[in-house]
Structures are given as structure tokens and as C-alpha cells.
Structure 1
Amino acid sequence: MNTLLCFVLKPFFFFFCFFYLAKVLKTFKSLLVSESKSTFSSFSPQLQDMAKQTMVLKVNMSSEKYRTKAMKIVVGASGVKGVRLEKEQGKLMVEGEGVDVLELARTLKKKVGKTEIIKVS
């Protein structure tokens, strides 16, 4: 009796598990697709380009130690795509999307030294 019950219920069990797993994966896939859409996807292309930012920050970097520290902080900030350093003028040119300039300037001021926001475009 027990063996017969095992042969009868086993296929139903596997079918139920497969059906449930397919349903879970479909739900997970729909969540991933909805989260991966850009927040600007419904806007016009002109507004999508506005999300790209270029910032110029003047940071008091007196030594190589502070230059390295400033670069690590800027590169580690969310949304930063590129950084250029002008050593002579002590300026960092930061390019990115959705970068919080004020938070970046506060962090640089706290960790490196005097920081000024020169330009944001």
C-alpha cells in the first residue's frame, strides 16, 4: 500500500513543485524588470540628458595623501561615472548621474579639508 501511494503521489508532488517554482520565478522576473527601468524612462530624451551632471569641486589637497583620499571618496560615491583631477588648481571634475553634490562636498570637507562647490551643470 505504501509503495502504491508513493507511485501515485510522487508525480503530483513534482508537478506541484514545478508549477509553484515557475510561478515564483515569473513573479521575481516581473519585479526585476520593473525595478530595472530607469526613473526617467517615461520622460522625453531631453530630460534624460538632464540627469547627467558635471560638477567642479575645489578641494584643499596639500599632499598626495589628501589627493588619493579625495579621489577614493569621490569614486566611491553613488552615481559617479568619472573623475578628473587638476593638481595645480586643486579641482576635481566629477561626472555622473544622480550624484548628491552637497553630501559629496560634506564628506570631502569632513575627511579631506576645505571644499567648495564651484560649478554644477
Structure 2
Amino acid sequence: MTGGCAALLINKNATTNATIQFQNNTYTLLPKSISILLDCQNVTFNTRKVTAKYNKRISRSSQELGAAQDWEEFKDVIPNFNDTSLLANMLLEHMNTTKDQSDHLWYTS
């Protein structure tokens, strides 16, 4: 867009609308909002006018672990880098590399 114009109009006030003048036009900005004017005239997007469906998260305990005898300790052996069976000079995709047999990979730098 050569010689084009775009603008962001921001109202930081949490409770009150803001009426502003920008390039000979009047804009009413909703509280805590950002209006995007891709052509410096028409509001293309306003953050307060976005609607999203509310999702309620429901979590249920599958097992209570309150007593000391319910917990186990696991000590992980930290391998010597030179003794490992797989070495790579790049990040590896976890599931492909471990074949789902381990929940972690060792990365060193």
C-alpha cells in the first residue's frame, strides 16, 4: 500500500467512552478498546466488539492424594551426553523421537 494510511485509536479509560477528532472525523471509542482504521477513516475492527462464547471449565478429581503413603518418589538418572544412544544438533519432534515411551527428552546447550 504505497502512500496509504492506517491508524490505531486507543481508549485506555476503563469506564468512560472517549470522543476524539482524527483527520477531520469524529470517533467514539469504547472504554478499554482499540479501534483499527485501515484507511484512516473507517473502523475496520474494534476490540470491544469482539464476541466470544463463554466456556465453563469443569474439573473433577480422579484420585485423591492426601496421605503420604499415596505419593511416590522417582529419581531420574541424568545421562552423560556422550553415552546417550541418540545425539542430534537440532530440536527433535517429541512423540516421533520417543515413540511415546518417555515423557521427556534431554536438551543441552
**Which is greater in Rg?**
2
Class of the TM-score when normalised by the shorter of the 2 chains:
under 0.3
Larger relative contact order (CA 8 Å, sep ≥ 6): 1
Q: Could you state the TM-score of these two structures normalised by the residue count of structure 2?
A: 0.23
Q: Could you state the TM-score of these two structures normalised by the residue count of structure 1?
A: 0.22
Q: Which has the higher helix share?
A: 1
